[in-house]
C-alpha cells in the first residue's frame, strides 16, 4: 500500500498499525466502569435492560487477599466474565458480585512466613498485635488484587464488593452458628482432631494431605502377643491389646482378661479387648491401641469405655508418661525406643518395605499428630442428606456428571467437621467455654456468665472459625440475606463457577448452609473448571519456578490473548496446560481481527445507507453467517466456551478473512453499483456480528474496534451492552 492511497481512505488512524493491547485496555475498562453498566440497576435505569428481564447472577469466588493473582484466578475470572458478558448482551438482568477473602489459615501462614523471614514469630506476639498486622497486610493485598481483576476485564459490579470480614458477613455467620446450636447441629466436645505441631492448630480432614512413604514397621513381643506398629513412640500408654472376636489364634483369651507383661519401661498390666475393628489379616492380628493419638483407637476406646492418656504434647514431644524419654522429639525417641526394646529382647522383627501414606499438614507438610482436644464440631450428616436430596431432585446440577458423582460420594461418606482453629486470623467464635467441664455455649450478646451445665466459671472461647465455615455462607452474605432486594432478585444465583479442587471445601458447604438457612440451594448449577498447569502438565509452583503470572502474560500478549488461551481447547472440568505459544497465537488473532476491521472500514467508506443485498449475498447470510451464529450460540448456551471460541476463531479467520474478503475484492471493484453496495453491506454485517460474537471472549479488542465503527453500523454506543446477534 502506498502512502498516497492511505490518505485517500477514511480508515481511523488507530488502525494504521498493529493492535497494541496496552494502548487500549486501561481506557476501555475505565469507560465501561464509568458507564455504570456493570451494575444491573443502572442498565435498567438507562434503558439497556428491561426491568422484568430474566436474571443471571454469579457470586465470584473471592480470591485470597494474600498475594497476587495466579493463572487459576485468571481462568475463573475469564470463564465467569464470558458468562456474564454473554448474559448481559442477551438482555438479561446480569449481576456479578465480586469479593475478597481474608482466607484465615492460608493468609496467616503467608504472613507467618513473612515474619519468619524477618526473624520474628507469631508466638512472641499478642493476638491483638498479630491480628492488626495481618489486617493491614490483607487490606493492602486486597486492593492490589482487585486491581488485577479489573485488568483481566472483569465486568463485575464493584458497588456490591464485599470482604469476608465485613460486619454483614460476621452477622450472618454468628446467627447461623446460634441457630445450629439450637438445632443441635454443632457441639463442643473432646474428640480426635488433626493437629499440626508447627502451626499449633487443629485442621479439618480436608486440610490434610496424604504423603506416600516407606517406613519401618516393627513387630514387638507384648506378653503372649506379637503386635505391629509403625509408631513405637506412642506405645507408652498402651495397656489394651485388641483382637478380633472370631480370631481363633486368640480364642484362649477372653474379653477383659488382664495380663501382666514386660514393656518399654517395666512391667505393666494389659487388658484384652475383643473388637471387630481389629483386622485378623493385618500383621499378627493383635494390636495395642493409643486412643489419644489415633482416630480408629479412639473409636475402639469409646466403644469399650477405656482410658485415654496423652503421650505426645502439642509441640510433638513426649510427655512424662514416657519416663526416660520425656521431652524427646518423637522421631528421635522412635529409634531409641526400638533400641531399648531390642535390648530387652522384645523386638521380633522389622519390615522395612512397609508402604503407607501419612496425613500431613497441607501447608507445611509436617506430619499431623492426631490429638484429643475440646473443639467445636458440626454434625454434618443431616446437612449432607439435604444436600444429596437437592442434587437428586436436580435443584442443583453439575456441568459434568463425573463431578456430580464425586460430589455425592463425598457427601455420602461425610464425617463431622471440626470448625475451630487455634489461630487469630479469622472470625472469633462467639462462645463461652466452661473452665471446669469444657462445655461450650454460643453467646452472641456476651451475656453468659456461668456454665449452663455445671455452673462452673466460663471464659471466652479463644478460637476462630475455620474459614470455610464462613465462606460456606458467602452466597447469603453477598446477596445480603435475608431481607434485601438482591436476595429476592438474585438468590439462588444462576451458576457457581469455581475450581474443582474446592468442591468439598466450598461448594458442598455452600449447598449445605444455603439449604439450612433458606431452604433453597444457593445456585442452580455448578460449573467446575480444572487446574491450570504449566506447558508440560506440571503443577505450577514457586519452588519449581514454572509459575506463569497472568500480569506478565498480559503485558506481553494482551489480556484478550490470555483469555482466549485459557478458554480455547479447555473443556470444562479438565485440567489444562498453559502454553505461551498458544497465547501468542491468540495475540495474532486479535491483530487479525484488527486488520479485518481496517479492510472493511476502508472498503465500506462510501457505503450507501439502506443498501439492498443481492440474492447471492442474502443466500450467503442465510447459509453461512446465520448458521455459524446459531451454532456458536448453541455452544454458549451449553457452557461449552471452549468449542464456541474455537468456532468463532475459525469462522472469523478461515471464512470471513480468508474466503469472504478474498472473494469480495473483485466485487468491490465492480462497476455494478448495486453489486458493490450489496457486498459492502454484507462485509459490514459480518464485521459487526463477528465483533459481537467475540466480545465475551476478547472484550478489549472488540470494544476498541466498536468504538471506531461508524454510528450507522452500531445499535449501541458501547459493545458491552449491545444485543447478542440473533437470527
Partner RNA sequence: GCGCGCAUAGCUCAGCUGGUUAGAGCGUUCGCAUGACAUGCGAAAGGCCCCAGGUUCAAAUCCUGGUGCGCGUACCA
User: Which residues 313-372 are close enough to bind RNA by CB under 7 A?
Assistant: 356-359, 367-370
Check binding of 671 to RNA (CB under 7 A). no
Check binding of 577 to RNA (CB under 7 A). yes
The Cα–Cα gap between 337 and 563 comes to: 58
Piece of the chain touching RNA by CB under 7 A; list 31-39, 228-236, 338-346, 706-714: 228-236
Piece of the chain touching RNA by CB under 7 A; list 48-56, 470-478, 577-585, 630-638: 577-585
Check binding of 602 to RNA (CB under 7 A). yes
Restricting to residues 20-49, which ones interact with RNA according to CB under 7 A?
A: 20
CB contact at 8 A, 560 and 698: yes
CA-based angle 191:278:264, to the nearest 5? Answer: 75
Restricting to residues 404-433, which ones interact with RNA according to CB under 7 A?
A: 405-406, 409-410, 413
Check binding of 575 to RNA (CB under 7 A). yes
Q: Please, what is the minimum distance in Å from the beta carbon of residue 193 to RNA? A: 12
Q: Please, what is the minimum distance in Å from the beta carbon of residue 171 to RNA? A: 31
DSSP classification of residue 160: G
The Cα–Cα gap between 662 and 424 comes to: 66
Check binding of 137 to RNA (CB under 7 A). no
| Set of cell numbers at residue 215 | 517406613
Restricting to residues 504-533, which ones interact with RNA according to CB under 7 A?
A: 504
Check binding of 569 to RNA (CB under 7 A). yes
The Cα–Cα gap between 661 and 683 comes to: 8
Piece of the chain touching RNA by CB under 7 A; list 227-235, 381-389, 622-630, 699-707: 227-235
Helix (H, G, I), strand (E, B) or coil at 276: coil
| Set of cell numbers at residue 234 | 506412642
* Count of residues that interact with RNA, criterion CB under 7 A: 79
How would you class 466 by CB atoms within 10 Å of its CB: exposed for 0-12, middle for 13-18, buried for 19 or more?
buried
Among 536, 543, 609, 671, the residue binding RNA under the rule CB under 7 A is: 536
Compute the 3-state secondary structure of the chain and give helix, strand, coil in percent, each to the nearest 5.
45, 20, 35
Comparison of 450 and 579: residue with beta carbon closer to RNA: 579
| Set of cell numbers at residue 230 | 509403625
Among 73, 334, 563, 592, the residue binding RNA under the rule CB under 7 A is: 592
Residues 6+ apart with CB under 8 A from 116: none
Q: Please, what is the minimum distance in Å from the beta carbon of residue 184 to RNA? A: 24
519: left (phi over 0), alpha (psi -120 to 50) or beta: left
Interhelix angle 641-650/559-567, nearest 10 degrees: 120
Check binding of 179 to RNA (CB under 7 A). no
Comparison of 27 and 366: residue with beta carbon closer to RNA: 366
Among 402, 605, 619, 622, the residue binding RNA under the rule CB under 7 A is: 402
Piece of the chain touching RNA by CB under 7 A; list 83-91, 420-428, 507-515, 650-658: 650-658
Comparison of 368 and 384: residue with beta carbon closer to RNA: 368
Restricting to residues 232-251, which ones interact with RNA according to CB under 7 A?
A: 234, 242
Among 329, 591, 626, 707, the residue binding RNA under the rule CB under 7 A is: 591
| Set of cell numbers at residue 96 | 456479578
The Cα–Cα gap between 410 and 403 comes to: 11
Residue 573: count of CB within 10 angstroms of its CB = 17
Check binding of 83 to RNA (CB under 7 A). no
Q: Please, what is the minimum distance in Å from the beta carbon of residue 512 to RNA? A: 16
Restricting to residues 193-212, which ones interact with RNA according to CB under 7 A?
A: 205-206, 208-210
Comparison of 179 and 569: residue with beta carbon closer to RNA: 569
Q: Please, what is the minimum distance in Å from the beta carbon of residue 368 to RNA? A: 5
Check binding of 709 to RNA (CB under 7 A). no
DSSP classification of residue 611: P
The Cα–Cα gap between 301 and 323 comes to: 24
Q: In Å, what is the CA distance from 509 to each residue of 12, 501, 517, 531?
A: 53, 14, 12, 21
The Cα–Cα gap between 690 and 597 comes to: 10
Check binding of 231 to RNA (CB under 7 A). yes
Among 118, 252, 353, 662, the residue binding RNA under the rule CB under 7 A is: 662
Piece of the chain touching RNA by CB under 7 A; list 48-56, 433-441, 479-487, 590-598: 590-598
Comparison of 42 and 277: residue with beta carbon closer to RNA: 277
Comparison of 60 and 399: residue with beta carbon closer to RNA: 399
CB contact at 8 A, 199 and 278: no
| Long-range CB contacts (within 8 A, 24+) of 312-316 | 312/233, 312/234, 312/369, 312/371, 314/195, 314/197, 314/200, 314/371, 315/197, 315/200, 316/197, 316/369
Helix (H, G, I), strand (E, B) or coil at 41: helix
Comparison of 18 and 462: residue with beta carbon closer to RNA: 18
Q: Please, what is the minimum distance in Å from the beta carbon of residue 122 to RNA? A: 24
Among 33, 166, 520, 579, the residue binding RNA under the rule CB under 7 A is: 579
H or E stretch at 233: none
Piece of the chain touching RNA by CB under 7 A; list 81-89, 571-579, 670-678, 686-694: 571-579
Binding flags for RNA, 626-645, as an x/- string (CB under 7 A): ----------------xx--
Residues 6+ apart with CB under 8 A from 85: 155, 695, 696, 699, 720
Chain-centroid distance, C-alpha 167: 23
Comparison of 185 and 361: residue with beta carbon closer to RNA: 361
The Cα–Cα gap between 316 and 327 comes to: 9
Residues 6+ apart with CB under 8 A from 139: 65
Among 585, 613, 624, 718, the residue binding RNA under the rule CB under 7 A is: 585
Among 324, 634, 665, 717, the residue binding RNA under the rule CB under 7 A is: 665
The Cα–Cα gap between 282 and 401 comes to: 37
| Set of cell numbers at residue 143 | 486492593
The Cα–Cα gap between 503 and 688 comes to: 40
Among 596, 648, 694, 705, the residue binding RNA under the rule CB under 7 A is: 596
Comparison of 98 and 104: residue with beta carbon closer to RNA: 104
CB contact at 8 A, 390 and 526: no
Restricting to residues 253-272, which ones interact with RNA according to CB under 7 A?
A: none
Comparison of 575 and 708: residue with beta carbon closer to RNA: 575
Q: Please, what is the minimum distance in Å from the beta carbon of residue 206 to RNA? A: 5
Among 93, 142, 582, 695, the residue binding RNA under the rule CB under 7 A is: 582
Comparison of 494 and 597: residue with beta carbon closer to RNA: 597
The Cα–Cα gap between 407 and 401 comes to: 10
Residues 6+ apart with CB under 8 A from 265: 236, 322, 323, 324
Q: Please, what is the minimum distance in Å from the beta carbon of residue 400 to RNA? A: 8
Check binding of 397 to RNA (CB under 7 A). no
Among 599, 651, 697, 724, the residue binding RNA under the rule CB under 7 A is: 599
Comparison of 328 and 585: residue with beta carbon closer to RNA: 585
Restricting to residues 59-78, which ones interact with RNA according to CB under 7 A?
A: none
H or E stretch at 362: none
Q: Please, what is the minimum distance in Å from the beta carbon of residue 451 to RNA? A: 32
Restricting to residues 278-307, which ones interact with RNA according to CB under 7 A?
A: 278-279, 282-283, 285, 287, 290, 294-297
Q: Please, what is the minimum distance in Å from the beta carbon of residue 588 to RNA? A: 3
Check binding of 646 to RNA (CB under 7 A). yes
The Cα–Cα gap between 149 and 98 comes to: 9
Amino acid at each position: 500500500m502506498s502512502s498516497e492511497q492511505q490518505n485517500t481512505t477514511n480508515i481511523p488512524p488507530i488502525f494504521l498499525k498493529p493492535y497494541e493491547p496496552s494502548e487500549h485496555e486501561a481506557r476501555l475498562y475505565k469507560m465501561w466502569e464509568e458507564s455504570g453498566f456493570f451494575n444491573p440497576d443502572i442498565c435498567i435505569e438507562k434503558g439497556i435492560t428491561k426491568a422484568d428481564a430474566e436474571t443471571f447472577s454469579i457470586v465470584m469466588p473471592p480470591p485470597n487477599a494474600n498475594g497476587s493473582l495466579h493463572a487459576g484466578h485468571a481462568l475463573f475470572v475469564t470463564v465467569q466474565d464470558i458468562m456474564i458478558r454473554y448474559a448481559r448482551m442477551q438482555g438479561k438482568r446480569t449481576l456479578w458480585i465480586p469479593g475478597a477473602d481474608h482466607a484465615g489459615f492460608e493468609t496467616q501462614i503467608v504472613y507467618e512466613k513473612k515474619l519468619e523471614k524477618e526473624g520474628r514469630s507469631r508466638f512472641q506476639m499478642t493476638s491483638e498485635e498479630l491480628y492488626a498486622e495481618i489486617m493491614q497486610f490483607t487490606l493492602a493485598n486486597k486492593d492490589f488484587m482487585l486491581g488485577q481483576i479489573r485488568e483481566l476485564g472483569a465486568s463485575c459490579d464493584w458497588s456490591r464488593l464485599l470482604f469476608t470480614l465485613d460486619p454483614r458477613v460476621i452477622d450472618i455467620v454468628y446467627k447461623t452458628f446460634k441457630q445450629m446450636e439450637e438445632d443441635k447441629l454443632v457441639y463442643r466436645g473432646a474428640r480426635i482432631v488433626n493437629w499440626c505441631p508447627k502451626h499449633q492448630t487443629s485442621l479439618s480432614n480436608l486440610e490434610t494431605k496424604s504423603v506416600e512413604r516407606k517406613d519401618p514397621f516393627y513387630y514387638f513381643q507384648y506378653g503372649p502377643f506379637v503386635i505391629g506398629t509403625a509408631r513405637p513412640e506412642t506405645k507408652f500408654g498402651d495397656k489394651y491389646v485388641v483382637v478380633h472376636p472370631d480370631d481363633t489364634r486368640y480364642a484362649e483369651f477372653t474379653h477383659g482378661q488382664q495380663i501382666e507383661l514386660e514393656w518399654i519401661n517395666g512391667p505393666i498390666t494389659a487388658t484384652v479387648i475383643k473388637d471387630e475393628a481389629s483386622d485378623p489379616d493385618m500383621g499378627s492380628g493383635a494390636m495395642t491401641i493409643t486412643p489419644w493419638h489415633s482416630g480408629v483407637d479412639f473409636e475402639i476406646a469409646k466403644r469399650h469405655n477405656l482410658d485415654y492418656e496423652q503421650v505426645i504434647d502439642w509441640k510433638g514431644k513426649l510427655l512424662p508418661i514416657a519416663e526416660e524419654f520425656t521431652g524427646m522429639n518423637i522421631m528421635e525417641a522412635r529409634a531409641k525406643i526400638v533400641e531399648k526394646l531390642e535390648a530387652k529382647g522384645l523386638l521380633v522383627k522389622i519390615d522395612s518395605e512397609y508402604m503407607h501414606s501419612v496425613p500431613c499438614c497441607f501447608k507445611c507438610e509436617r506430619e499431623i499428630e492426631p490429638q484429643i482436644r475440646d473443639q467445636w464440631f458440626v454434625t454434618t450428616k443431616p446437612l449432607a442428606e439435604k444436600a444429596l436430596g437437592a442434587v437428586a431432585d436436580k435443584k442443583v446440577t453439575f456441568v459434568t456428571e463425573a463431578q456430580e458423582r464425586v460430589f455425592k460420594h463425598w457427601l455420602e461418606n461425610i464425617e463431622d467437621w471440626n470448625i475451630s482453629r487455634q489461630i487469630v486470623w479469622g472470625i472469633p467464635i462467639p462462645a463461652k467455654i466452661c473452665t471446669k467441664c469444657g462445655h461450650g455455649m454460643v453467646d452472641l450478646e456476651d451475656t453468659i456468665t456461668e456454665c449452663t451445665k455445671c455452673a462452673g466459671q466460663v471464659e471466652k472461647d479463644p478460637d476462630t472459625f475455620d474459614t470455610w465455615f464462613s465462606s460456606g455462607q458467602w452466597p447469603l452474605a453477598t446477596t445480603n440475606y435475608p431481607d434485601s432486594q438482591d436476595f429476592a432478585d438474585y438468590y439462588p444465583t444462576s451458576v457457581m463457577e469455581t475450581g474443582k479442587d474446592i468442591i468439598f471445601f466450598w461448594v458442598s458447604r455452600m449447598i449445605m448452609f444455603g439449604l439450612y438457612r433458606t431452604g433453597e440451594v444457593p445456585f442452580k448449577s455448578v460449573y467446575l473448571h480444572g487446574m491450570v498447569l504449566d506447558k508440560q502438565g506440571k503443577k505450577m509452583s514457586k519452588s519449581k519456578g514454572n509459575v506463569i503470572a497472568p500480569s506478565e502474560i498480559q503485558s506481553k500478549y494482551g489480556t484478550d490473548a490470555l483469555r482466549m488461551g485459557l478458554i480455547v481447547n479447555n473443556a470444562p472440568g479438565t485440567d489444562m496446560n498453559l502454553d505461551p505459544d498458544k497465547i501468542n497465537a491468540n495475540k495474532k488473532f486479535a491483530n487479525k481481527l484488527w486488520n479485518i476491521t481496517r479492510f472493511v472500514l476502508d472498503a465500506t467508506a462510501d457505503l450507501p445507507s439502506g443498501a439492498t443485498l443481492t440474492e447471492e449475498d442474502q443466500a450467503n447470510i442465510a447459509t453461512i453467517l446465520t448458521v455459524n451464529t446459531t451454532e456458536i450460540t448453541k455452544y454458549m448456551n451449553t457452557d461449552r466456551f471452549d468449542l464456541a471460541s474455537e468456532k468463532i476463531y475459525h469462522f472469523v479467520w478461515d471464512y470471513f478473512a480468508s474466503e469472504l474478503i478474498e472473494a469480495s475484492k473483485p466485487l468491490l471493484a465492480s462497476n455494478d453499483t448495486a453489486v458493490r453496495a450489496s457486498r459492502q453491506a454484507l462485509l459490514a454485517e459480518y464485521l459487526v456480528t463477528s465483533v459481537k460474537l467475540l466480545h465475551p471472549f476478547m472484550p478489549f479488542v472488540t470494544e476498541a474496534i466498536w468504538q471506531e465503527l461508524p454510528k450507522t453500523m452500531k445499535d449501541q454506543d458501547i459493545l458491552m451492552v449491545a444485543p447478542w446477534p440473533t437470527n
